[in-house]
Structure 1
Amino acid sequence: MKKSIIAGGISVGLLLVAALIIFVFFPGLLTYIDVKVNDPHINDVAEEFQKVEVPENFTSFSTKGLRFRMPEGAVKNRSGSSIRKGEEISVLIMENDSYKNFVQQQEMAANPDIDLDISTDPWESFLYDEETYRHFYKSMKAQYPTEYDARSDILWFIKDGFIAKDCLKLRGIDRKVFKEFADIKEESVAYEDAYKLKGKGFFAYVCKIKKELSADSANAKEINEHFQWSCTLFPDNSTTDYYFIMISGENDNIKPQVISSIELDK
């Protein structure tokens, strides 16, 4: 009997030591189990966008520093910000500068004559304060989002910046932030698919709203007709400049063809 008790005690002791070693070296194990169970898309990352063949009869357009091809009969508006062919296909191009946007936001927030509820805190809608997120990004060895680098936007980190195993060595509140981002990622993946596109002189994220989700929403018709695909394009020669391109229309086959044809024209 004594030998059995001693053997049992040794076994329990070894298990406790093993558990202690695991949690010393992998303090984020419980968070890992949590996200693996409750966030099934935690390991999803943006896949490469598969280019498709662009028909030879498509017309080439140059505008806003970009060049791409559209179906024959498409027309560019006077400002060059939009090209469309009836209800079949429409492309809207917006040029942005993350640093200029930041400065404008700061100026508007400080202007007493502008009656707008403008916040300069990028973390206002999140759970924790800026110091907490700075610590989290440092622990993750990831670039903290800054107006000086458009690619560092919070959105792209959440969509493509981490997977489950990245939380294993996180401690304290960093684990809570990881869980927060994992939940947001789960919502994002349910809403749209994200792809990466590398072109000559640029990198882009391509997103496609999932029809099975938008079809059930109250504004499904507006979503389907006006905002099915988007492309956020970052030129290699700038850290703050970027383009946001919306591709919409009734012809689903044309949208990936237009995206496949995008080039820089500078």
Structure 2
Amino acid sequence: MSTTLQVPTAVRLRLAHGCLEHHARTAGARILHIKGEALHPVLSAGRPGSTDCDVLVAPADVAAFTRVLEAAGWEQITTFPHGSVFGHAAAFHHQLWGTVDVHRWFPGMHRDPAHSFERLWSDHEVTDLGGIDCAVPALLHQRLLLLVHAARESAGKSARDVEAAWGALDDAGRQDIVALAHDLGAEVPLGLVTGQEGLVTGGPDEHLWRALDADADPTAVWRARLRDSRGVLGRGRVLAQAMHVNHDHLSLRLGHAPSRRELRREWWSRWGRLAKDLLRRR
């Protein structure tokens, strides 16, 4: 009689982080393990368990790291340009280890991705994940990462993270986070989740962040991006992207690679949604 060993998710994810660190060293890449099982205990206490891994890769090392992942059996399921509205991460899946989101930059800290990574790397700490020493951001940096991420979550899901990363601090601790946000260009998302309107108004991608913070529908998010765009060329790029079918997301929704017919149907559907939105706003 055969039995199947059920490994707790948290254990599997910690082992997966160790595996990812091994791949990074093989590739000669620097990575920071972020969120989920890599969170500092002060921030993770009472938090729902994670279901995947997240790593932030030095921008110059992304190509080498992803090549090693694919050679080791990790299948890419979403691409960087189409993985999110920020184009910041690609998802890879392994039959044994599960899914990892590989970040080439972190939304809200992407004004200068190379500078942001070096700033986070400069004070990084080391923690054991899956039996191997893994680099993680310092606690102060993890607080800002969690707060910026909370700006993309619904209020109900993010309230606990905001309290742990911000509400529990004194004024001096909060000022340290604000100073770091200024350095990394993360003022807008930080201001939204902490109620500091002065950090938000007129900031980069203000309308996009407001839409994400309000959990707006996709059409509203595209309108926000259009408002944030600069010049005729900038607006043209946004409009072109809005009409482009996201192959990655459609594949995930359908459960298979879309056919040409399905791509055409989705394209016309996008135009239909746009037309209805314009008529509703007349």
User: Under a length normalisation based on structure 1, what TM-score does the superposition of the two structures give?
Assistant: 0.29
| Greater relative contact order structure (CA < 8 Å, 6+ sep) | 1
Q: Which of the two has greater strand per residue?
A: 1
